[in-house]
Structure 1
Amino acid sequence: MVEVAIGSSPEVFVLLGFSERPSLEPVLFVIVSGIYVVSVLGNSTIILLSCMDVHLHTPVYFFLVNLSFLDISFTTSIVPQLLVNLWGPQKTIRYGGCVAQFYISHWLGATECILLAVMSYDRYAAICRPLHYTVVIHPRLCRSLAFASWLGGLTTSMVGSTLTMLLPLCGNNHIDHFFCEMPLIMQLACVDTSFNEVEMYVASVIFVVLPLGLILVSYSRVAWAVLKIRSAEVWRKALNTCSSHVAVVALFYGRIIFMYLQPAKSNSHEQGKFIALFYTIVTPMLNPLIYTLRNKDVKKALRHIVLENRCGFGGTRGHI
């Protein structure tokens, strides 16, 4: 066991993860590895298609590229270290790596909240103001909203994570999770963390509750506009336009709501690990699937690029 002086920063943290179930770790290693590869490939495909096909140079795919890049970054900040800990007996992460994890996870989590709200506004404009859509959601506004999302997430992460990092620790370097998370680091502190908890509560209201409220307002306006028209064709178009984003929002906020509504039982923390695992590796994998399986534009772009490459390859062979 690594001894840590009270009030000092440990050289390493021990991530207990799923060590209480050692027989499960090899299975999790295989599952997590497979899902991580699929997630990176799926999100990278979305990014490449959106950049290569001019038909996808639209606001919705611009924001989707941001979401895909965010998902790749988030999983990559956590999964490689998780795989190392699942593979061998060593469950440690260096202090710098732990700090980087909770800075990045906090940054990207807050950014995703804002980005999902921005995407709901884009869907609102597409349904409720179709004739003025290109004027309302113009490229400059898209870039500004995306920049504001990333900057807002970074700002709250710099404030909250720095306040957490400055807390003196009580000599315990064991974290009962598979990655470094701000609330768990705060539990190791030797001092009163009330100020940090207030800051985290305020940040949660601003970056979680407020964006969710904006999403609900956007879709309530969409629902009201569609119901007034009473046309099956309009309803179908609205469903095709909004269903993918609604599914992603449900996955993202469903996990948050479920975690807060859990009863305070002894096994609730263990359940929380598996919920966090689902959010960390499964949700980023599902996002590109949700946006491609029902999306004719993406499937058409993928088919066009594949056929174009085949033709180019065939043409090259013909000249050999």
Structure 2
Amino acid sequence: MTAFRSPEAFAAALAELTAPDDAAIAAARARQAQLTKPAGSLGRLEDVAVFLAAWQQRERPVLECARAVIFAGNHGVTAQGVSAFPASVTMQMVENFRRGGAAINALSTASGLELSVVPIALDRPTADFTQAPAMSEDDCLEALNLGARAVADRPDLIVVGEMGIGNSTAAAALCARSFGGPASAWTGPGTGLAAEGVARKIAVVEAAVRFHADAPATAFESLRRVGGREIAAIAGAVLHARRLRVPVVLDGFITGAAIAPLFAQNPRIVDHCIAGHRSAEPGHVRLLAAYGLEPLLTLGMRLGEGSGGALAVGIIRAALAAHQNMATFAEAQVAGAL
């Protein structure tokens, strides 16, 4: 399956986004109004149920097939000392995922998620994007289409996650290029850099933004110039999910940054997305504010791997359980609305 055959096809898909189903929204809200509780008393759980109804196009949404997909890629910019860990850790963690030993394995199991791990050309790191585009057009298209394939069978919901040493630098560069502002506003410690390391990382992001300043400001060009393979795959998954009306749970700063250039081109791209949590990475607060997304959880997490998104699925399941299983006033023979 090839969802995006060219940069132009990718741009066309981004321009022609599907809308939520108004009839399903109305039906879900009508059901909420009849459940045995005061109106609005379950707060955001009610909103989450209606959100899922809107994109699944049914009054009573389900999570029979919910999936976490972790995309992994390596970054040439790590040669500039932007991470506390060497690039070899990316492959080591992918093997840990495959053996079932990582946080995302435990949290996916706890939240009833099937887990898919998609390493992308780990033996070919992207170019150092302070000196050249991170990817060729063909490499970027390949990554976008790998992302699209992860949702091609239309799961009920997808959690997107990532693994890639150095990718918080790429995320900061994407945000700076997409939204503007100083690099320092988007750049944080990532995997645990001290102040000196953060300062070096800020300088790298500034250099990347300068180097690509005259390049086209399209979503595709931003992804291929200062993104990474796993980041482009997330963007492809989110965009193709929108085509198929599959709701998306974003994890932290990096998964959010993957759609920053898409948002800059069409802000409606976040309409089918839930922010699973607010990361401790400083730029994530700013990014969620730009998107107008309120996270379901704020637990001080900064692991990545899709871990915060997976954890949030437990909340989503609770919202759907209440929506699906509570009795109506008529069924419970309770007189009148509470």
Larger radius of gyration: 1
Q: Which has the higher helix share?
A: 1
Q: What is the TM-score of this pair, normalised by structure 2?
A: 0.26
Higher RCO (CA < 8 A, seq sep 6+)? 1
Q: Which has the higher strand share?
A: 2
Q: What is the TM-score of this pair, normalised by structure 1?
A: 0.27
